[in-house]
Structure 1
Amino acid sequence: KYVAFLRKEKLADTTVIQSLFEKHWVVYAKRPFAGPKQVIEYLGRYTHKVAISNHRIKNVTNQEVTISYKDYRDGSKTKQLTLKNEEFTRRFSLHILPKRFVRIRHYGILSSNWKRGKLQQLQKELNVLRSSVELKTQHRKCYCCKVGNLVTLHVFGQRGPPKAYLIENTLSSVN
């Protein structure tokens, strides 16, 4: 897609495009430290978000923008950074994809084709527990009386419920 875009928009000459095909591209990925589940969770937090959310923008003037960020090299402390408007705009625009480009596409075993049968067969062969999505739709008997059906209303990840959910349910239980 990238090379086709370069050719169509005439953004690179023939020698540059040809040089891309002369290299043998190798993808190297180390094994994730905390396991594949944490990698998927990490990616999931960023695939549908903008480069910087509004709550991280602390101050905007005619000359500068102040943002908050986490400094992972300094014990994950939250710090503030002030940038000139031009530099902030430059950094923000680095996250804007060209037209028709997408951040992440499902492919391989996560593609739609795999989800319609092959994935379930593979999970069965590997004795993998069903996903939380499947468990959401399944009706189970009440743990106490073993009579009524339990219906899952919400499923939260390891990080727990979002703050807005906690606040909403705290307020409704007080009323």
Structure 2
Amino acid sequence: MIGVLHTWDRILGYHPHIHYLVPGGGLSPDHTQWLPSENDFLVRVEPLSTIFRAKFKAALKEIGLFNAVASTVWNKDWVVHSESVGSGKEAMVYLARYVFRVAISNNRLLNIDNNQVTFEYQDSETKQQRQMTVAAFEFIRRFLQHVLPKGFIKVRYYGLTSPAKRNLLAMAMYLLGAHTPATIPKPAAKAELYCPKCCRPLRFVGRINYYERGPPL
């Protein structure tokens, strides 16, 4: 499992959440079989949301940060969204954009003038491109809240993707590959060249190097 922290929304608001890429299955207890999930279903999200909230709460208590969080947070429903993404290729491409990326790219900045900044964003409901103008200091405030502390680990690896489990990852890849027939196309036969006069195949004899001037006598 791979987790990537994402702290912003489309208008640079503070919206911390984590995207996880989770394998659709796992190794058997004896590590000899790959056990896939059934019908693109992994776990029920309702109980998973409750468990995640409890785990998060316990983790904050363990590191002494529990009192820094408003008590109303624990009375709200937490949301864990889970869905199948097929091979995961598109999800990987999506997450790759955020691994070493800042909250907003330069091409979204439309205008900076009179202490105001205008930028473009996509409306989450209509999927239409819209514009927003904010004061320069407000834009700076929104941007800086997404700058992570030095040394902060933004991407974390668990289970089969953990560096300590590389042997199990290799086994999983082997088992998955054993059930996936290779579909590499055979290279096309190299076309032969024929002499325009006698129409017989040409045979490579050697290469004549090109010189800008003739060799010395």
Query: TM-score normalised by the shorter chain: which range applies?
Result: 0.5 to 0.7
Unpaired segments ≥5 residues, structure 1: 131-139, 147-175
Residue 125 of structure 1: which of 175, 196, 212 is its match? 175
Give the C-alpha shift of residue 122 in structure 1. 1.3
| Aligned partner of residue 72 in structure 1, secondary structure | coil
Q: Cα deviations across residues 130-156 of structure 1 (Å, max 9, x unaligned)?
A: 9xxxxxxxxx8852128xxxxxxxxxx
Q: Cα deviations across residues 75-127 of structure 1 (Å, max 9, x unaligned)?
A: x221211111122112111211123212112232212233x432121122344
CA distance in 2, matches of 1:58, 1:71: 16
Q: 1:120–1:72: structure 2 CA closer, same or farther, 3 Å change rule?
A: same
CA distance in 1, matches of 2:156, 2:188: 43
List aligned pairs for 1:149-160, cutoff 5 A.
none
CA distance in 1, matches of 2:179, 2:82: 20
Give the C-alpha shift of residue 28 in structure 1. 6.3
CA distance in 1, matches of 2:116, 2:108: 14
Q: TM-score, normalised by structure 1?
A: 0.54
In the alignment, which residue of structure 2 is the partner of 1:72?
A: 124
One-letter amino acid of the structure 1 residue matched with residue 173 of structure 2: Q
Q: Cα deviations across residues 41-91 of structure 1 (Å, max 9, x unaligned)?
A: 3222211111111111111124210111111311x2212111111221121
In the alignment, which residue of structure 1 is the partner of 2:55?
A: none
Q: 1:119–1:128: structure 2 CA closer, same or farther, 3 Å change rule?
A: farther
Q: 1:85–1:144: structure 2 CA closer, same or farther, 3 Å change rule?
A: same
Q: 1:100–1:35: structure 2 CA closer, same or farther, 3 Å change rule?
A: same
In the alignment, which residue of structure 2 is the partner of 1:41?
A: 93
In the alignment, which residue of structure 1 is the partner of 2:187?
A: 143
Aligned length: 123
The question of 1:29 aligning with 2:80 is answered yes
Whether the aligned pair in 2 keeps the contact of 1:67 and 1:82 (CA below 8 Å) is: yes
Q: 1:110–1:73: structure 2 CA closer, same or farther, 3 Å change rule?
A: same
| Aligned partner of residue 82 in structure 1, secondary structure | strand
Q: Which has the higher strand share?
A: 2
Residue 136 of structure 2: which of 74, 85, 92 is its match? 85
In the alignment, which residue of structure 2 is the partner of 1:51?
A: 103
Q: TM-score, normalised by structure 2?
A: 0.45
Q: 1:105–1:141: structure 2 CA closer, same or farther, 3 Å change rule?
A: same
| Aligned partner of residue 102 in structure 2, secondary structure | coil
- Higher RCO (CA < 8 A, seq sep 6+): 2
One-letter amino acid of the structure 2 residue matched with residue 144 of structure 1: A
Q: 1:93–1:35: structure 2 CA closer, same or farther, 3 Å change rule?
A: farther
Whether the aligned pair in 2 keeps the contact of 1:123 and 1:129 (CA below 8 Å) is: no
The structure that has the greater radius of gyration is: 2
Residue 98 of structure 1: which of 124, 143, 149 is its match? 149
Q: 1:68–1:128: structure 2 CA closer, same or farther, 3 Å change rule?
A: farther
Q: Which has the higher helix share?
A: 1
